[in-house]
């Protein structure tokens, strides 16, 4: 696998992370319930997971270039 498809995959994960983060802010945005607990959805953990996958893919692509 060459670095180019890996970088495309990283870009896709980055877009998904931004979309999930934006949806989290739009729909939940740090709302507190009556007990003072922050209400959040699954979008926040998903955005961190997608961001971690994007970073991992970029690192993997860089390693593929230098370890050829």
Q: Is residue 46 part of a domain?
A: yes
| 7 in any annotated domain | yes
Q: Is residue 33 part of a domain?
A: no
SS3 of the chain: helix, strand, coil, percent, to 5: 70, 5, 20
18 in any annotated domain? yes
11-32 mean pLDDT = 91
As for how many domains the chain has, the answer is 1
| Nearest CA among 49, 10, 16, 46 for reference residue 28 | 46
Is 35 within a domain?
no
Residue range of the domain that includes 52: 3-28+40-66
Please indicate, yes or no, if residue 34 is contained in any of the structural domains. Answer: no
Establish if 9 belongs to a structural domain. Answer: yes
Asked if the model's pLDDT at residue 1 lies above 70, the reply is no
CB under 8 Å to 31, separation ≥6 — which residues?
A: 38, 39
Q: What is the pLDDT of residues 26-54, one digit of tens each?
A: 988 777 788 888 777 889 999 999 999 99
Asked whether residue 61 is domain-assigned, the answer is yes
Q: Comparing C-alpha atoms, which of 21, 25, 29 is closest to residue 46? A: 21
């Amino acid at each position: 696998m060459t670095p180019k498809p890996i970088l495309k995959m990283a870009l896709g994960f980055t877009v998904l992370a931004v979309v999930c983060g934006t949806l989290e802010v739009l729909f939940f945005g740090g709302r507190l319930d009556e007990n003072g607990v922050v209400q959040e959805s699954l979008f926040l953990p998903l955005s961190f997971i997608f961001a971690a996958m994007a970073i991992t893919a970029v690192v993997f692509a860089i390693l593929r270039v230098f370890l050829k």
